[in-house]
Amino acid sequence: MTKYQHQKRVLVAIDCIIFGFDGADLKLLLIKRGFEPEKGKWSLMGGFVKATENFEQAASRILKQLTGLEGLYMEQLLAFGDPGRDPMERTVSIAYFSLIDILQYEKQISHEYHAEWFSLHEIPRLIFDHQDMVELAREKLRYKAAFHPILFELLPQKFTLPQLQHLYEEVYNTRFDKRNFSRKILSTELLVKQKDKEKENSKKGAYYYKLNKKKYKIHFHEILNIIPNPGNLH
């Protein structure tokens, strides 16, 4: 079989946007790029797709190689194909994003490529169009969080209402009244109160809760009651 005539090579790359929550801040996992151009600069986890791989396989391999993380659920975000996005060679990048509980995965992370968590409020300058990828992923995160239990991927299995409130505040870049937030979230009846408390942050302690996943699938729309301006999400 002959190859396509008069066609120039286009490389296909993968870039992984990994969001994490440590109970206090929403963060982004970055590495220092290991080759030119922009060697040593802060970057998303990226690499080229091999001829024998599909995109999902390439994303998993690249993430494991650069950070040590594996077994994560990753969702395809968008293809970035501006002709000048990579000054070295014509490259199309398929961006993926994922959400993790930082404390659950902190021992798994390899620091060979200087993998480091940055608060979304303090992201350093990123190479190429990686900042655009991050901003689009944040928009997608806000949208999906209004309709799916996606944010609970950032929390441990058991969590407190203050933890949940702070996570929503970080994602939507806003502040909620504590009593109002608690009242609204509990009125959805989507959370199951546990018998034990978290007592590290106060003497009185805060009860732990779990998400009722079965009920969430049926009444997921209830969460819209706590989302600021859900009609403006896009």
- Together in a domain, 139 and 157: no
- Together in a domain, 24 and 43: yes
Q: Give dist(CA 10, CA 181) in Å, integer.
A: 49
- Together in a domain, 68 and 173: no
Q: Which sign does the torsion angle of CA 168, 170, 176, 178 carry?
A: positive
Q: Domain range spanning residue 79?
A: 11-145
CATH number of 30's domain: 3.90.79.10
Residue 232 has pLDDT above 60, yes or no: no
Look at residue 168 and tell me if it is in a domain: yes
- Together in a domain, 156 and 137: no
Q: Give dist(CA 104, CA 22) in Å, integer.
A: 9
Look at residue 4 and tell me if it is in a domain: no
Residue 149 has pLDDT above 80, yes or no: no
Q: Which residue has the higher pLDDT, 128 or 104?
A: 128
Mean pLDDT to the nearest integer, 17-40: 92
Task: Give residue 2's pLDDT.
Answer: 75
Residue 234 has pLDDT above 80, yes or no: no
43-77 pLDDT per residue, tens: 999 999 999 999 999 999 999 999 999 988 899 99
Task: Give residue 137's pLDDT.
Answer: 96
Q: What is the mean pLDDT of the chain?
A: 88
Mean pLDDT to the nearest integer, 124-140: 96
- The percent of residues in the chain predicted with pLDDT above 70, rounded, is 91
